[in-house]
Amino acid sequence: MVDTLNRRDFIGATAVAGAAMLLEACKSDSGAQTAAVKKSSLNTINVALVGYGEEGKVLLESLLNIEGIRLVALCDIWDYHRGEGQRYLEKLGNEVRAYENYEDLLAKEKDLQAVIVATPDFWHAPMTNTCLKAGLHVYCEKMMSNTIDGARSMVKTMRDTGKLLQIGHQRRSNPRYLFTLNRLLHEAQFCGRLTAVNGQWNRAVKEDFGWPKKYEMPASMLAKYGYKDMHQFRNWRWFKGLGGGPLSDLGAHQIDIFNWWLGVTPKSVVASGGLDYFKNHDWYDNAMVIYEYPLEQGVARAFYQVQTTTSAGGGYYEMFMGDDGTIKMSEDPSICAIYREARANAVSWDDLVQKGYVAAKPVAATDATKVDVRETAQLAEYEIPVFFNKPPHQPHLENFFNAIRGTAKLNCPADEAFTSEYVIHKANEAVAAENKLHITNEEVKA
Amino acid sequence: MAASTEIRVLPAQKNAWDFTFAFWALRLWLGARALFVGIQKFAAYKSVAQPLIDPSTGQPDASGVMVNVSVKSYAFANYAGIPTALRDKFAHDPLLPKFALTAFDHILGPAFLLAGIMLILGLGTRLSLVIQGVLFIALTIGLILIDQNDGVAYLGIHIGLVAAAFMLAQHNRFAVLKKW
């Protein structure tokens, strides 16, 4: 009893303490933002943000946390977003000059070193190419472009100008992804021989984005920037010629992880999908894709699905399955897990636990009653106890700025991103073709 | 031949010292037990984020990941007489009125601290044993009410030791206050 009374229910307490620390660590340093504007240097990098939509807002929050970065200009064709961004930054003491047109911005801002492009996909290539040619380093959101040719042109411009071009596959700089890839998949080899990969991002039905009527852009302006109407402008991801649909919007992040972690590109893709649910979109709202990856030890097949359905069913993740174990990885740490097969003896799991690389789940796996004799035993489940206390996009932006300063190498340069994104474009093609498409090593290179 | 310097201890005296040592053993054990039970009531574990260390280099892992390390600290603000998990169970028992639970929660830690210090110093030895006996009995009743029979048996050992200490208390020596 005495011992029992001594025990603190400290799990709850530590969770609160951990959350408090995360919040603290995530606070932006508003003091740094109010500093007087100085000539940009390698220590302080002057940056412009082009595109203040959903993604631009996410990037801005990360950007404000990074020391030595001064946001000096903001560009968005929609005055509603532009004004919102300007007012928000003003409240933080960070006055920025706002522009409707990115070419005006480039003409007037003479002390820029880098531009962050977070506009709809079909604007990525022209904007990025212009910025690179203007002598600026560019961080461009994924997908690089809505077309393969557009993406290829970005790699060419990057090479021609010698400027840095980072593509926003932010998981490539995520410390948890880097740790799991390097320590667990490569160093510990605990998956054994990889035989399959499974990824998904299903999402529930959601209303299309709307807009306040009084802020509706005139038809002439919409046409000038490539949109048919306001609905298309607000929901560009669903329209051919503007975006790439869910496979590009959501799948790109995860299929990029397939390519990155497996270290090769697939040799073929077969897919099925369609515009089954929405009546006012262009792109498929359901898609299932299977890639064949030629690994050294044999073929590994990777299945990916993005469906318009309930968001139940495990959330969004990338699962790497071998004959010794499985890693289930996600940007959401609560979804991550690793599973060890009973036959796996190549890895000392006690050693991994001792190093702090893995932790046994609080509830141990039990031997469930087998329904079928062919069922394999339930696996021991572990968790990956590591974390990082920053917004998900911040490490990738930091990597970009550190590369500008010469203290790091880009984690996702455009040529590598092209290789990865090429096979995502091919998945959309495979849905349309309704048959298996072969992919050569040559065609995936920019 | 030099005279022998051996101290001759009579059988009765030798026996008395054995009892004294036996009591001291019990006195110090029960005293330390009570004192540190009381101190532990002011302890809490907090999670502290630290960089994961690469065992091969002793430096933070290159990925930049963090791990939570559990760190124990003592403070008055940490005080919890009855842990939350048990308090919730007690709160649902109709035989335990809320005011009694609250009062017991407040006095449990200080009472153990007081009893422990008194017993170690020999400051009212029997009185401190009475306090410990009452606390162990009260805790036993609580555990019976919430069906924690393992804990009841465990407390039974403590009560046995308190009873043994009472039986040997007449052999107590080196006490600050022999009375009580």
Question: Are residues B115 and B163 both part of a single domain?
Answer: yes
Residues 6+ apart with CB under 8 A from A197: A258, A262, A293, A300, A301, A302, A303, A318, A319, A320, A321
Question: Is B3 part of any domain?
Answer: no
Cβ-nearest to B45 among A8, A385, A389: A8
Same domain, B135 and B67: no
Looking at the fold, whether B38 and B91 belong to one and the same domain comes out as: yes
Q: Does residue B131 form part of some domain?
A: yes
**b/e sequence A323-362, b meaning 16+ C-beta within 10 Å:** ebbbbbbbbeeeebbbbbbeebeebebeebeebbbbeeee
**Ordered mean pLDDT values, 10 residues apiece, chain A (446 residues):** 34 31 30 39 88 97 96 98 96 96 97 97 98 98 97 98 98 96 92 96 92 96 97 96 94 96 97 93 95 96 94 87 94 91 80 86 57 69 88 97 96 97 97 95 93
Asked if A4 reaches chain B (Cβ–Cβ under 8 Å), the answer is yes
Q: Which residue of A lies nearest to B80 if distances are taken between CA atoms?
A: A8
The pLDDT assigned to A382 comes to 86
In a domain, B180, yes or no: no
Cα distance between residue A357 and residue A339, in whole Å: 14
- Assess: ipTM above 0.85: no
| Both tokens assigned to A284 | 């498929």
Nearest by CB: B83 against A9, A356, A385? A9
Contacts of B67 in chain A (CB under 8 A): 356, 385-387
**Same domain for B36 and B18:** yes
CA distance B172 to chain A (A): 26
Report CA Rg, chain B: 23
Q: Is residue B71 part of a domain?
A: yes
B43 to A8: CB separation less than 8 angstroms, yes or no: yes
Find the mean pLDDT for residues B116-121.
92
Q: Say if residue B10's pLDDT is above 60.
A: no
Taking an 8 Å cut-off on Cβ atoms, the answer to whether B83 and A15 are in contact is no
What is each CA distance from B88 to A12, A319, A336, B32, B82, in whole angstroms? 14, 40, 32, 29, 10
Amino acid in position A365: A
- Report the distance separating Cα A96 and Cα A87, nearest Å: 9
Task: Assess whether B68 and B127 both reside in one domain.
Answer: no
Alpha carbon A280 to its chain's center: 27
Let me know whether B69 and B128 are in one domain. no
Minimum Cα–Cα distance from B60: chain A residue: A179
User: What's the number of domains chain B is made of?
Assistant: 2
CB contacts, 8 Å: A386 with chain B = 52, 63, 65-67
Within this chain, do residues B127 and B98 fall inside the same structural domain, yes or no? Answer: yes
Instruction: Let me know if residue B8 belongs to a domain.
Output: no
pLDDT score, position B168: 86
Strands A268-274, A286-295: pairing kind = antiparallel
Closest Cα to residue A81, out of A110, A47, A118?
Answer: A118
- For residues B149 and B120, membership in a common domain is answered with yes
Among candidates A10, A21, A388 on the partner chain, residue whose Cβ is nearest the Cβ of B64: A388
> Are the C-beta atoms of residues A424 and A291 closer than 8 Å to each other?
no
Q: How far apart are CA B37 and CA B57, in angstroms?
A: 40
State the best of B48, B68, B150 to mutate against chain A, taking most chain A CBs within 10 Å. B68
Taking CA atoms, A292 is separated from A237, A270, A298, A429, A437, in Å, by: 27, 9, 10, 16, 11
Of B62, B66, B80, the CB nearest to A389: B66
Total Cβ atoms within 10 A of residue B127: 15
Whether residue B59 sits in one domain with residue B96: no
The CATH code of the domain at A172-438 is 3.30.360.10
CA distance A344 to B112: 51
Q: Of chain A residues 149-188, which have a CB less than 8 A from chain B? A: 175-176, 178-179, 182-183
Domain-terminating residue out of B56, B77, B98: B77
A356/B45 touch (CB, cutoff 8 Å), yes or no: no
In 3D space, the residue among B141, B71, B127, B144 whose CA is nearest the CA of residue A21 turns out to be: B71
Q: Is position B178 within any domain? A: no
Alpha-carbon gap: B128 to the closest alpha carbon of chain A (Å)? 17
Q: Which residues of B touch A178 (CB under 8 A)?
A: 62-65
Sort out which chain A residues have CB atoms less than 8 A from B52's CB and list them: 179, 356, 386
Output B148 or A248, whichever has higher pLDDT. A248
The residue that leads in pLDDT, A241 or B3, is: A241
Domain that holds residue B28: 14-42+79-171
Shortest alpha-carbon distance between residue A354 and chain B (Å):
10
Distance from CA of A220 to the nearest CA of B (A): 49
- Identify the pLDDT of residue A271: 97
pTM over 0.80, yes/no: no
CA B89 – CA B86 distance, rounded (Å): 5
- Of B55, B83, B158, which has the smallest distance from its Cβ to A7's Cβ? B83
B72 & B93 share domain: no
Contact call for residues A80 and A212 (beta carbons, < 8 A): yes
Residue of chain B nearest A2, judged by CA positions: B37
What local confidence, expressed as pLDDT, does residue A7 receive?
35
> CB A14 to CB B41 under 8 A?
no
Please state, rounded to an integer, the average pLDDT across all residues of chain B.
85
Q: Is the separation of the CB atoms in A400 and A114 below 8 Å?
A: yes
As a whole number of angstroms, the distance between CA A242 and CA A146 comes to 7
Chain B residues touching residue A25 (CB < 8 angstroms): 49
Report the alpha-carbon angle A155-A161-A167, nearest 5.
40
**pLDDT-based confidence at residue B75 (cuts at 50, 70, 90):** very high
Name the residue among A152, A151, A33, A59 with its Cα closest to residue A114. A59
How much is the pLDDT for B12? Answer: 58
In a domain, B88, yes or no: yes
Interface contacts A/B by beta carbons within 8 Å: 107
The C-alpha atoms of residue A200 and residue A56 are separated, in whole angstroms, by 24
Rounded to whole angstroms, what are the CA distances from A440 to A58, A263, A293, A444? 36, 15, 12, 7
A182 contact residues in B (CB cutoff 8 A): 62-63
CA distances from B85 to A10, B29, B103, B112 (A): 10, 28, 17, 20
| pLDDT at res. B4 | 57
| Nearest chain A Cα distance for residue B179, angstroms | 29
Residue B169: which pLDDT band, with cuts at 50, 70 and 90? confident
- Cβ neighbours of A21 in B, within 8 Å: 47-49
- Could you give the CA distance from residue A288 to residue A310 in angstroms, rounded to a whole number? 16
Position B13 confidence tier, pLDDT thresholds 50, 70, 90: low
- Spell out the domain ranges in chain A: 172-438
Cα angle B130-B39-A15, degrees, rounded to a multiple of 5 = 135
Identity of the residue in B37, B65, B155 whose CB atom sits nearest the CB atom of A6: B37
Pick from B40, B44, B65: CB nearest A388: B65
How many angstroms away from the CA of B2 is the closest CA of chain A? 57
CA-to-CA distance for A7 and B82, rounded, in angstroms? 9
In a domain, B124, yes or no: yes
From A9, A15, A388, residue closest to B85, measured CB to CB: A9
Burial of A394 (0-12, 13-18, 19+ CB in 10 A): buried
